[in-house]
């Protein structure tokens, strides 16, 4: 999943396992560029999962993945 490029370099990609997300919103708080948002849909468990509003702005810091208590987020660099 490294299709996106910025300035000739591959950008980080944040992948959410939406079905495992319980919507705690911790990831939205720690994102330094504020691109992690809660989506306006529900997963099978009835929670609104987190997602990314603009992947091109992701700096690949992985703060969201580190704080996630359910290991829902993977950052691919």
pLDDT tens-place string over residues 7-61: 666 778 999 999 999 999 999 999 999 999 999 999 999 999 999 999 999 999 9
Instruction: Using the predicted structure, report yes or no on whether residue 69 has a pLDDT greater than 80.
Output: yes
Q: Residue 1: its pLDDT value, please?
A: 40
Residue 7, judged by CB atoms within 10 A of its CB (0-12, 13-18, 19+), counts as: exposed
Q: Rounded to whole angstroms, how far apart are CA atoms 62 and 42?
A: 24
Closest by CA position to 28, among listed 50, 58, 57: 50
Mean pLDDT of all residues in 51-77? 96
Is 5-76 in CATH node 3.30.70.20? Answer: yes
- The answer to whether the CB of 32 falls within 8 A of the CB of 24 is no
Enumerate the domain spans of the chain: 5-76
Q: Residue 2: its pLDDT value, please?
A: 44
Instruction: Using the predicted structure, report yes or no on whether residue 4 has a pLDDT greater than 80.
Output: no
* End-to-end CA gap in the chain: 9
Q: Residue 9: its pLDDT value, please?
A: 65
């Amino acid at each position: 999943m490294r299709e996106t490029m910025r300035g000739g370099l591959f950008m980080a990609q944040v992948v959410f396992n939406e079905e495992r997300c319980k919507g705690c919103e911790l990831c939205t708080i720690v994102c330094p560029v504020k691109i992690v948002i809660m989506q306006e849909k529900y997963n099978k468990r009835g929670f609104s999962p987190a997602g990314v509003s603009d992947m091109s702005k992701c700096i690949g810091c992985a703060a969201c993945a580190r704080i996630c208590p359910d290991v829902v987020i993977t950052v691919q660099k």
